Structure 1
């Protein structure tokens, strides 16, 4: 991994910040650190890091506000929110602040490092922000936006993950378990009903007729398939 990659680590817990910075440094990244929201904002806008790891609860200015602010000032790279518990994830879902993804604490350092490497791999493949075109739509996963007929449709983080996974695996049958693992991760206590609910919501955003989906089709007894000719 190239040393050129800059990660802004915004975390007020000094011990955790030290551990994460140490680990990311050993992976060859350049780590910029901030312990509060206002410092973070200034740092991100000046340095334009490739990824921002942003704590949800911060002194001075909350992570959600920082994210909204940097997005409004044109920062369009990856913002990964670090949250303490699953309930916070629901809060992030409720605010649409332009978070690209999230990890819940306590997280495993290997999982965090793999998540970052994975994200960078996909963004490195194109100079501009990653985007996927299909039919009359364009999906921009970094800012979880869907452009449909020239209009912007907001996606929640989970809808964003689901759509991205389908677009990367178009025309393949995806098992429900595989999708749940991909979207909610290792320790997720999530059932298929929750997944199906997100699929229904996503269909409403992308399908002309959500009851008879053209793209996001159900494969009975197995899972789903994203059909693109």
Structure 2
């Protein structure tokens, strides 16, 4: 069964790179640049994993992580939070993130982290 990953990232270049990378790995993708867009897409289908950027135009990724972990429909879904600021790591994990990735990231590293989270769920 193909796993679906929802990536919330406002930087178009990073979103594109992650999209190409994960499609090459055989994942189905949902891409959003805002929290509003993510919520809208959740009405159609629920992913197997979320990847959230911390700084997005309409919210904070750690607050979104908390919202997703408190929602009965998404609380079971693993979340990986990404940020260029390592000060966000502790806040992300306290918000319920299952993992944290620092930007810039190594392509092979992010794939390993994603695979590790999906193998647990």
Considering the TM-score relative to the shorter chain, is it more than 0.5? yes
Shift of 1:45: 5.4
Which residue of the partner structure matches residue 54 of structure 1?
52
CA contact (8 A) 2:65 2:92 kept: no
Q: In the alignment, does 2:52 pair up with 1:37?
A: no
2:15 is paired with a residue whose SS is helix
Which residue of the partner structure matches residue 80 of structure 2?
80
CA contact (8 A) 1:7 1:32 kept: yes
1:86 is paired with a residue whose SS is coil
CA separation of 1:64 and 1:44: change in aligned 2, threshold 3 A: farther
2 CA distance for matches of 1:99 and 1:18?
A: 23
Which residue of the partner structure matches residue 185 of structure 1?
none
Cα-to-partner distance string for 1:162-196 (whole Å, 9 max, x where unaligned): xxxxxxxxxxxxxxxxxxxxxxxxxxxxxxxxxxx
Which residue of the partner structure matches residue 92 of structure 1?
92
Cα-to-partner distance string for 1:21-52 (whole Å, 9 max, x where unaligned): 00000000001000012212332454210000
CA contact (8 A) 1:44 1:70 kept: no
Taking structure 2 as the reference length, the TM-score comes to 0.89
2 CA distance for matches of 1:57 and 1:105?
A: 12
- Aligned length in residues: 119
**Structure 2 runs not aligned, ≥5 long:** none
Superposition CA RMSD, Å: 1.5
1:42 is paired with a residue whose SS is helix
1:118 is paired with a residue whose SS is helix
2:66 is paired with a residue whose SS is helix
Q: Which structure is richer in relative contact order (CA contacts within 8 A, separation 6 or more)? A: 2
Shift of 1:119: 1.9
1 CA distance for matches of 2:45 and 2:87?
A: 31
CA contact (8 A) 1:41 1:66 kept: no
**Structure 1 runs not aligned, ≥5 long:** 124-229
CA separation of 1:14 and 1:70: change in aligned 2, threshold 3 A: same
